[in-house]
Amino acid sequence: MDWINATIQGTLLGGLYALFAAGLSLIFGIMRLVNIAHGDLIVLSAYLALTVTMAIGVHPFLALVFVVPAMAVLGYALQRTVLNRTMGDDLLPPLLVTFGFSVIIQNALQIGYTADPQKLKAGAIETASLSIGPITVGVLPLLVFIAAIVVIGALQWMFYKTALGRAFRATSDLQDIAQLMGLNRAHVFGLAMGLSLAVTALAGVFLGIRTSFDPAAGGSRLIFGFEAVIIGGLGNIWGTLAGGVILGVAQTLGAKLNPGFQVLAGHIVFLLILAVRPRGLFPRMD
Amino acid sequence: MSETILSISGLDAGYGDFQALYRVDLSVNAGEVVAVIGANGAGKTTLMRSVSGLIKTAPETVVWQNQGIGALRADQIAAKGIALVPEGRQLFKSLSVEENLIIGGQLGRKGPWNLRRIYDLFPILEERRDVPATSLSGGQQQMVAIGRALMSNPDLLLMDEISLGLAPVIIKSIYDALPGIVGEGLAAIVVEQDIAKALSVSSRVYCLQEGRVSLTGASHDISREAISRAYFGV
């Protein structure tokens, strides 16, 4: 029964990892940009939410009303002013520039907020739980998991059923030809990054409620997000959810064996899947 | 004599250090179909990419409806009413047939073309509207590419080698559809290696040879000898 419990907790944890990964997967899918600063942007979102909750004394969930649009605007601006200049056939320049962002964000957060760990206080929901038979699940992890499904479902719908999604797919297929259709690539990429960071804002707030965070916490979130994307298969957004769940379950089962194995178990499962299925479990993209 | 809508003068264009076009002059009148012929590597596709904005040039070398457009982005030029059927069709593989057509009409320009009329012109596309565009046969893909360009209701349609890689019977059916496309005052530039086809649909012809205009004249009274001289340079 303990093992079933651990699997369920791991599945719920996977929801958070899928949220880390969704924005990463989106921008890689649309513009082949690997955003090394993604984890730091998640942490930045958590700090933004912290500032909002402290400044006007609202619940972290309410702070989302501010943090999500703020991160979306930041994403659009970053893409239009800096990242679009790095885009081309070569994957390396955007990689280096986003690595630079990562360093800048970490150090700026350190100056602004010190290195002390912080936490978003969400009140009673943090410890609330539901009992289903012998299994007890936390309300918060369940909420995060449901949010992940909703976000990924919404992204999927946006991608395949809306004019914006059509523009994303067309630009991803053939940038020049999409431009001929009146889609300005610079603007489309800006929208993609804006959307990615909007999802990141949600991930950051959930992260901040679930655990404590500090300016250096971004790196491991980036790794978990990457692993979820790769396990799921590039270009498949539901695969990203599956990847997050597999990673979450691996970590919780690993922690059950030995608390020190938590992160290691996730990496080992990731490497095993990479060895057996180098393109991930459900690849959609070459 | 109808007015000139597109006027290219002294166009130099290329890719990086490689120059593909040298001081090319070309004009298109309203409602006119102009053919551009030439061997592989003569610069035909570069010319199309320059007009459509995929290659930037000096602003005043390409003048469209009395405005220099050489330095505009492709999406800005598309909004002004120039549509390209690119060489090799270049359909969006993640989009269905219908989505490829819809995205062609993304700019929302007013005019006679809509999804219904494209399907009337190429009925097979309506049957296959929901399949991925690149799963169609080559000829059907070419129909999608032409339909996608028409969906923007252009004033000038550029067609770059629409017969390339297609069976003769398919080429014939596509060319048979052309009068229905350009019959309503739409001007067009038809780029072709198939000289007979190009001459049959156009009123004037330009021949490119190694990046320069080597011959120009009325399609119906130009001699075969003049063309082969201009085509091969012998």
Return the pLDDT at A285: 62
Contact A205, A63 (CB under 8 A): yes
Contacts of B176 (CB under 8 A, 6+ apart): none
Q: Is residue A282 part of a domain?
A: no
Question: What element of type H or E holds A23?
Answer: helix A2-31
Q: pTM (2 decimals)?
A: 0.92
Q: Is residue A31 part of a domain?
A: yes
Instruction: Quote the percentage of chain B above a pLDDT of 90.
Output: 75
- Average pLDDT, whole number, for chain B? 92
Q: Is B1's pLDDT higher than 80?
A: no
Return the pLDDT at A139: 95
A171: domain CATH number?
1.10.3470
- Average pLDDT, whole number, for chain A? 94
Q: Is A179's pLDDT higher than 90?
A: yes
Q: Is residue A284 part of a domain?
A: no
Upper half-sphere CA count for residue A118 (Cβ side, 13 Å)? 26
Question: Measured between CB atoms, does B195 come within 8 Å of chain A?
Answer: no
CA-CA-CA-CA dihedral for A158, A160, A165, A171, to nearest 10? 150
DSSP alpha helix (H) spans, A114-236: 139-161, 163-173, 175-180, 185-210, 218-232
Number of domains in chain A: 1
Is residue A286 very low, low, confident or very high in pLDDT (cuts 50, 70, 90)? low
Using a CB-CB distance cutoff of 8 angstroms, which residues of chain B are in contact with residue A166? 95, 99, 102-103
Considering only CA atoms, give the Rg of chain A. 19
Q: Which of residues 112-171 of B touch A (CB under 8 A)?
A: 148, 152
Considering only CA atoms, give the Rg of chain B. 17
- Chain B nearest C-alpha distance from A277 (Å): 23
Q: Which domain holds residue A59?
A: 2-276
| Secondary structure of B17-83 in HEC code, one letter for each residue | CEEEEEEEEEEEECCCEEEEEECCCCCHHHHHHHHHCCCCCCHHHEEECCEECCCCCHHHHHHCCEE
Domain ranges of chain B: 4-88+155-232
Give CA separation, A45 vs A40, A213, B48, B124, B159, in Å. 9, 11, 46, 51, 49
Question: What element of type H or E holds B189?
Answer: strand B187-192
CATH fold label, B4-88+155-232 = Rossmann fold (3.40.50)
Sign of CA dihedral A15, A66, A165, A95: negative
Q: Which of residues 132-191 of A touch B (CB under 8 A)?
A: 163, 166-167, 169-170, 172-174, 176-184
Question: Measured between CB atoms, does B52 come within 8 Å of chain A?
Answer: yes
**Preferred mutation among A159, A180, A187, A188 to probe B, highest tally of B CBs within 10 A:** A180
Residue type, A202: L
| Average pLDDT for A202-231 | 96
Q: Is residue A57 part of a domain?
A: yes
Query: Residue A173 and residue B73: Cβ atoms within 8 Å?
Result: no
| Average pLDDT for A245-273 | 95
Q: Is A23's pLDDT higher than 70?
A: yes
pLDDT tens digits for B4-28? 999 999 999 999 889 999 999 999 9
Contact B52, B77 (CB under 8 A): yes
Q: Which of B73, B70, B85, B72 is nearest to B12 (CA)?
A: B70
Nearest CB partner across the interface for A169, out of B53, B78, B92: B92
Q: Which of B219, B218, B206 is nearest to B51 (CA)?
A: B206
Using a CB-CB distance cutoff of 8 angstroms, which residues of chain A are in contact with residue B97? none
- B145 to chain A: nearest residue by CA? A177
Question: No. of H helices and E strands in chain B?
Answer: 9, 10
Neighbours of A114 (CB within 10 A): 11
- Chain B nearest C-alpha distance from A88 (Å): 15
Q: How far apart are CA A222 and CA B13, in angstroms?
A: 44
Give phi and psi for A68, each to the nearest 5. Answer: -60, -55
| Average pLDDT for B98-102 | 97
DSSP alpha helix (H) spans, A57-162: 60-81, 92-113, 139-161
Question: Measured between CB atoms, does A2 come within 8 Å of chain B?
Answer: no
- Chain B nearest C-alpha distance from A195 (Å): 20
Strand partners of residue B189: B34, B158
Q: Is residue A206 part of a domain?
A: yes
Upper half-sphere CA count for residue A74 (Cβ side, 13 Å)? 20
Q: For residue B54, give both structure tokens.
A: 């995929």
Q: Is residue A201 part of a domain?
A: yes
Q: Which of B101, B102, B114 is nearest to B153 (CA)?
A: B114
pLDDT tens digits for B121-153? 999 999 999 999 999 999 999 999 999 999 999
Nearest CB partner across the interface for B94, out of A169, A177, A181: A169
Q: How far apart are CA A167 and CA A105, in angstroms?
A: 31
Q: Is residue A283 part of a domain?
A: no
Is residue B215 very low, low, confident or very high in pLDDT (cuts 50, 70, 90)? very high
